[in-house]
Amino acid sequence: MDFQAPNTLAEQIAGYLAKRIMTGQIQPGERIQEANLATELKVSRASVKEALYTLERWHLVEITPRKGASATQINAEYAAELYDVYMHLLIMLATRLCERWQEEDKPLVMTAVQQVINQIQDHGRDLTAVVEASFGVMEACCEVVGNPYLTESLSNFKPAVSRAYYLSAQRYRQGLAQTRRFFSELQPAVLARDTVKVRELIEIFAEHQKLLIQQALA
């Protein structure tokens, strides 16, 4: 992966490192040396430090006083805890969506859902595209709900959840049929403003996803 000169330097560095952590190029627990990274990318250590703070907020890096930064550990227990919190945030988002969507919001959300289904129907060959399309639904819902605190929280969880998916790619691929069914059933439940059904669908789907990830990381 080539590093491209950024518009927002620290954020671009954070994105570059996040991809390396999510795909396993930087292993769990591996130290990230500020000075070496600054030299490698030809940027200042201050920009690298700012990027590392962003990665800490994304749950990809742990910064320890006098020891510096390292990629966070990830195992079955960590993934379970991560997904439990993420699931509750998604339930909150979907509940607010049921309460707040208006007729003019339907095309935005329905198009995002259809993109996920289309990617899976393409036999899920591009797992990255499936994952990104799934997050696209979340982002469309955040736009409709309009809660900046919930949007920020979910955005900060996205890299860590993506990492869990990438590190358990084969198991995740095996669950694509259930992913397609989840999105197909979620859409009419939201349109009916059936918050009980929406919560049930998310809980069942999240538990299934969590199990796949735990099995892969065990």
pLDDT mean over 114-125: 82
- What is the rounded average pLDDT for all residues in the chain? 89
DSSP the chain: -PPPPPSSHHHHHHHHHHHHHHTTSS-TT-EE-HHHHHHHHT--HHHHHHHHHHHHHTTSEEEETTTEEEEPP--HHHHHHHHHHHHHHHHHHHHHHHHH--GGGHHHHHHHHHHHHHHHHTTT--HHHHHHHHHHHHHHHHHHH--HHHHHHHHHHHHHHHHHHHHTHHHHHHTHHHHHHHHHHHHHHHHTT-HHHHHHHHHHHHHHHHHHHHHHH-
User: Quick one: 76-217 is in which CATH superfamily?
Assistant: GntR ligand-binding domain-like (1.20.120.530)
* Same CATH fold assignment for domains 9-71 and 76-217: no
Domain boundaries in the chain?
9-71, 76-217
Please name the fold of domain 9-71: Arc Repressor Mutant, subunit A (1.10.10)
Q: The pTM is what?
A: 0.84
Residue 75 has pLDDT above 60, yes or no: yes
pLDDT mean over 181-187: 93
